[in-house]
Amino acid sequence: TKPGRLPLPPGPKPLPLVGNIRDIPLGVPQWELFESMAQKYGDIIHLNVLGQNIIVLSSLEAINDLLEKRSAIYSSRPRSTMMHELMDMGWSLAIIEYGEQWRRIRKAFHRHFNANETHRYYDTQNECTQSFLRRVLRSPDKLFTHTRHLFAKSIMKVTYGIDVSESENDPFIYHAEQTIAAFNAAARPGRYLVDLLPILKYVPAWFPGAQFQKDAQYAKAMSNRMVNDPFQLIKERERTGKTVPCVVSALLDEAPPAGPQRAEEEDIIRKAAGIAYAGGSDTTVSALQSFFMAMILYPSVQKRAQAELDAVVGPHRLPDFADQKYLPYIVAVTKELLRWKMVTPLAVPHLTTEDDEYRGYFIPKGSIVLGNSYMILHDPVVYPEPHEFRPERFLTDDGQLNPDVLDPTIACFGFGRRICPGRAFAQDSFFSVVSNVLHTFNISHALNEDGETIPVLPEVSDGLISYPKPFSCLIKPRSTSAEALIRNTEDP
């Protein structure tokens, strides 16, 4: 059969012109809408939004068959006029279209962030976690600011060998954070009309109503500084013979020594390094916020985790990566963290680059393909009472990690050739922070002026990256000796 004659996968009936726009209203988490659609239409659904074909996959089988096995044609990204053209962020590994540039940037990134390499960053991760503990001790009311700073510090050190200042006004952090904010605004569906009507990009910035052009110019300036400034600093260090070990220096050492190939490779390295901060920041922050939320809502989990730390690590030192294999419950907490309130419930959209046929359905070239990670990791058959935070689900009766339980990494970091290349680094960070925080602090409900507990609802925001909705949290050292352990980490 010719693919064109096959039916599209099932789905809600589209309206003329606008298609299914009314079936996916803004403000309702899309993964929940897609879950109810999957219950009605099956694990492969088709929607049409303003002419754009969207395919939603809701089973591991369909995801494996298409995003993994046919990844050669399921690995591009949708194009956004705002991000790719006006903001000039098309270089970014996360949104660049599938092809030679993507392959080269990804390879450079992967070479230093794959699971066999990330142990080299253990010391930096430890130092950054300890600096985080000190900051939380000093100003517990700024817990979430410190959480953001924690990732910024470790990724800048690992990638560029740069020690960012303690101040929130550090210029490297500032440019990266401004870029991320602009990127997030542009990623919100419907935020910029220019993405629906690309012709608008020719409207000049001074034209009344053309705020998007001003936003784009600002974002472009910020993202250029984010990707160029730290890279130039490394080049300067190379010239003056003052190199500091870091991912960028290592990549520059591996590059051809001179000539046009050198220039080309330097460009690839600049881009690969530039995405590390942007790819990891919001995601790590969201997961750590969920961690604090879970610890407030599930005090018995916190107690059991602390009991394990007391038994294995003891009161005289802080936990370290070497303890990991003796801390199955802590590891289970980090797994549950990636499953419970998901950071990227629909992963990141893929785009097909050829017409395809699957189970008798036609999947047109240029379709956006979403894998519903949320649904897979909230399947009550695999994870009973899926909305509860229950690390025990990953353990055997005698408290060891149970290899028979599906690991959340099967879906929480996306799929196929685009799977998150920062996932090993992210998991290391979570182990380090979760173990050290629980070893030294107690986390509980914040109290209002009358001493009453401020309730916390386990709610999250909609969006490509989902966050817990803002909540307050009380964090206090577990004991004077725990406090001393933190203070002792201070540089002499």
Question: For residue 193, how many C-alpha atoms fall within 13 Å in the half-sphere facing its CB?
Answer: 9
Nearer of residues 382 and 419 to ligand HEM, judged by Cβ = 419
* Residue 175 lies near ligand HEM (rule: CB under 6 A): no
Residue type, 313: V
* Residue 419 lies near ligand HEM (rule: CB under 6 A): yes
Residue tagged 């088709």 (tokens): 46
* Cα 246 from Cα 93, distance rounded (Å): 20
**Considering only residues 421, 463, 468, 477, which one is a binding residue for ligand HEM as defined by CB under 6 A?**
421
- Three-state SS for 246-304 is CHHHHHHHHCCCCCHHHHHHHHHHHHHHHHHHHHHHHHHHHHHHHHHHHHHHCHHHHHH
Contacts of 325 (CB under 8 A, 6+ apart): none
Q: Count residues near ligand HEM (CB under 6 A).
A: 28
Rounded to the nearest whole angstrom, what is the least distance from the CB of residue 396 to ligand HEM in the complex?
26
* Best CA proximity match to 78, nearest among 375, 365, 467, 423: 365
Rounded to the nearest whole angstrom, what is the least distance from the CB of residue 261 to ligand HEM in the complex?
23
* Residue 425 lies near ligand HEM (rule: CB under 6 A): yes
In 139-170, which ranges are continuous DSSP H helix?
Answer: 143-160
Nearer of residues 88 and 483 to ligand HEM, judged by Cβ = 88
**Considering only residues 280, 345, 391, 477, which one is a binding residue for ligand HEM as defined by CB under 6 A?**
280
Rounded to the nearest whole angstrom, what is the least distance from the CB of residue 244 to ligand HEM in the complex?
19
* Residue 233 lies near ligand HEM (rule: CB under 6 A): no
The residues facing 477 across adjacent strands are 441
* Residue 93 lies near ligand HEM (rule: CB under 6 A): yes
Draw the binding track, 105-134, toward ligand HEM (x: CB under 6 A; -: no contact).
-x--x---x---------------------
246 annotated binding-site participant = no
* Cα 62 from Cα 126, distance rounded (Å): 40
**Considering only residues 275, 331, 464, 475, which one is a binding residue for ligand HEM as defined by CB under 6 A?**
275
Contact stretch for ligand HEM (CB under 6 A) within 19-27, 121-129, 254-262, 339-347: 339-347
Contacts of 287 (CB under 8 A, 6+ apart): 337, 338, 343, 426, 430
DSSP-derived pairing of the beta strands 356-358 and 441-445 = unpaired
Nearer of residues 358 and 444 to ligand HEM, judged by Cβ = 358
Nearer of residues 200 and 347 to ligand HEM, judged by Cβ = 347
The footprint of ligand HEM on residues 399-418 (CB under 6 A) is 412-415, 418
Residue type, 153: K
Question: Sign (positive/negative) of CA torsion 282, 286, 287, 289?
Answer: positive
Q: Is 234 exposed, middle or buried (0-12, 13-18, 19+ CB in 10 A)?
A: buried
* Residue 230 lies near ligand HEM (rule: CB under 6 A): no
Name the DSSP class of 311.
H
Nearer of residues 157 and 350 to ligand HEM, judged by Cβ = 350
Residue tagged 């685009």 (tokens): 418
Neighbours of 198 (CB within 10 A): 15
* Residue 94 lies near ligand HEM (rule: CB under 6 A): yes
Nearer of residues 213 and 335 to ligand HEM, judged by Cβ = 335
* Residue 348 lies near ligand HEM (rule: CB under 6 A): yes
Nearer of residues 114 and 217 to ligand HEM, judged by Cβ = 114
Contact stretch for ligand HEM (CB under 6 A) within 31-39, 256-264, 283-291, 387-395: 283-291
* Residue 284 lies near ligand HEM (rule: CB under 6 A): yes
* Residue 420 lies near ligand HEM (rule: CB under 6 A): yes
* Residue 369 lies near ligand HEM (rule: CB under 6 A): no
In 114-210, which ranges are continuous DSSP H helix?
Answer: 122-138, 143-160, 171-187
* Cα 187 from Cα 181, distance rounded (Å): 10
* Cα 125 from Cα 113, distance rounded (Å): 13
* Residue 276 lies near ligand HEM (rule: CB under 6 A): yes
Rounded to the nearest whole angstrom, what is the least distance from the CB of residue 94 to ligand HEM in the complex?
4
Cα dihedral 217, 272, 156, 82, rounded to 10, equals 20
Instruction: State the binding site for heme.
Output: 420
Q: Where do contacts with ligand HEM occur on this chain (CB under 6 A)? A: 93-94, 106, 109, 113, 275-276, 279-280, 283-284, 287, 343-344, 347-348, 350, 412-415, 418-422, 425-426
Instruction: State the binding site.
Output: 420
